[in-house]
Amino acid sequence: MRIVLTDPILDRFRDLLTRQGGDGHAWEFLAGRPDGEVVERLRSADVLVASRMTVPMAEAAPGLRLVHVTGAGVDRVPLDALAPGVTVCNTFHHGTSIAEHVVMAALMLSRRVRRADALLREGRWESVAVDPAVALGDTLAGRTVGVVGLGEIGAAVVRAATALGMRARAIRRDPGAPLPEGVRVDRMDGDDGLPELLSGSDVVVLTVPLTPATTGLIGAAELARMRPDALLVNVARGPIVDEDALYDALAGRRIGGAALDVWWSHPKDGGGARGYTRPFHELDNVLMTPHHSGHTRATFTGRAREIAANIERLAAGEPLANVVRAGA
C-alpha cells in the first residue's frame, strides 16, 4: 500500500511506523510540505496519516481506503467530502499525560506558582512568611473536581484527582453506563447535570470533543454558576468556551482562574502564534500553554504503534480499531 504521512509529530517516529507497520508498504513522509504537494501525492494513495485534512485533499483521493487521524479529535477532517469507501480511525494514548497536566495546572493556580516564579525572578520574595497580606494557597485534597465528559481523558483526570484526595463528579451522555476501571465518582449525571456540576465544583475540567452541540457549551451564564474561587481547566477545544465571556469572568475576578491549553485558533490554520483575541496574557489568574498537555513521548509512542497495527489490519483485511467512520 501507498501511505502518506503529514503529521509533524508522528514524523519523528518513522522507524517505529515502518518497522511495525510492515516493510512492504511505500511510505511518503510529507510533514511540512505545501498542501498542493500533498494533494498530488494523495491521488494514488491508500492511506493518509494526518492530524488535519483539507477538502481538496479529500476530493483528490478517490482511491483512499483509510484516513488515520493522529489524535482523538476528527474535527479537522472534512468527513462529508471523503469518498464513501474511506474509513476514518482515530487514536488516543494521551489520557495519563493530559491528566498529569490538569493536576499540575490546578496546583499551579491554587498555589499561585506562576506569580511567585515571576516575582522571584525580579528579586521580589513574596511569601506569607514575610508579608501578612499574602493569601495562603489551597490544597487539592478535600476539594471537588467536576469533569465534563468521561472518555479516556476524563477518566484519567478522575483517577489522578481522587488519588490526591479530591472528590469527583462528572457528566456524560449516558450516565448509566458502567464506569471505567479505577474511576470513582460521588455523582454522575447526564448532560442536563451541567449547571449543578458547575456550581458544585472547585475545579471544572473540560474534556469533551468539539461538536455542534458542545460549541459554546460554557458561556456567560455557565461561568456565572461557578464559585468565585473555582478554576476552569480546558484541555478539550477552545470553542467549547465563549472567549469573551471567559475573559470577562477572569478579568472581573468572578472565577478564581483558568488553565487554558486549547485556544480559538491555531498557527496551523494561519491564525498566528496567539490563538485568542482578548488579552488573556495580561491576567495573572490564567495559566497558558500551547495545546501541549498530551505531548509526551509515551503518548506518541503509543499512537505510532496503534496506527502501524491498524495499517497492518487493513492490509490483512481484518477489522480496524477505533473506527470513527466506516467506509461503505
Mean pLDDT of 115-141: 96
Please give the single-letter amino acid code of residue 168. Answer: A
Backbone angles phi and psi of 99, in degrees to 5: -60, -40
Where do you find CATH 3.40.50.720 in the chain?
2-92+297-325, 95-288
Burial of 135 (0-12, 13-18, 19+ CB in 10 A): exposed
pLDDT at position 33, please?
Answer: 97
* pLDDT digits 0-9 by tens, 162-213: 999 999 999 999 999 999 999 999 999 999 999 999 999 999 999 998 999 9
Please report where in the chains the cell 461557578 appears, as a residue: 226
87-89 vs 323-325, strand pairing mode: antiparallel
Tell me what percent of the chain is helix, strand and coil, each rounded to the nearest 5: 35, 15, 50
For the stretch 242-245, contacts whose Cβ atoms lie closer than 8 Å and that sit 24 or more positions apart, written own/partner, are 242/216, 242/218, 243/276, 243/277, 243/278, 244/278, 245/218, 245/219, 245/220
pLDDT higher than 80, residue 271: no
pLDDT at position 22, please?
Answer: 56
pLDDT at position 26, please?
Answer: 95
Q: Distance between CA atoms of 213 and 63, rounded to whole angstroms?
A: 32
Closest by CA position to 299, among listed 49, 75, 98, 160: 98
Q: What is the pTM of this model?
A: 0.91
pLDDT at position 34, please?
Answer: 96
All cell numbers assigned to 275: 490563538
Domain 95-288 maps to which CATH number in 3.90.580.10, 3.30.70.380, 3.40.250.10, 3.40.50.720?
A: 3.40.50.720
Please give the single-letter amino acid code of residue 312. Answer: E
* pLDDT digits 0-9 by tens, 61-112: 999 999 999 999 898 999 999 999 999 999 999 999 999 999 999 999 999 9
pLDDT at position 23, please?
Answer: 61
pLDDT higher than 80, residue 269: no
Helix or strand (DSSP H, E) at 5: strand 2-5
Architecture of the domain defined by 2-92+297-325 = 3-Layer(aba) Sandwich (3.40)
* pLDDT digits 0-9 by tens, 276-323: 999 999 999 999 999 999 999 999 999 999 999 999 999 999 999 999
Q: Distance between CA atoms of 289 and 250, rounded to whole angstroms?
A: 17
* pLDDT digits 0-9 by tens, 12-63: 999 999 987 556 899 999 999 999 999 999 999 999 999 999 999 999 999 9
Around Cβ 83, how many Cβ atoms within 10 Å? 14
* Alpha carbon of residue 84 to chain centroid: 28
pLDDT at position 25, please?
Answer: 93
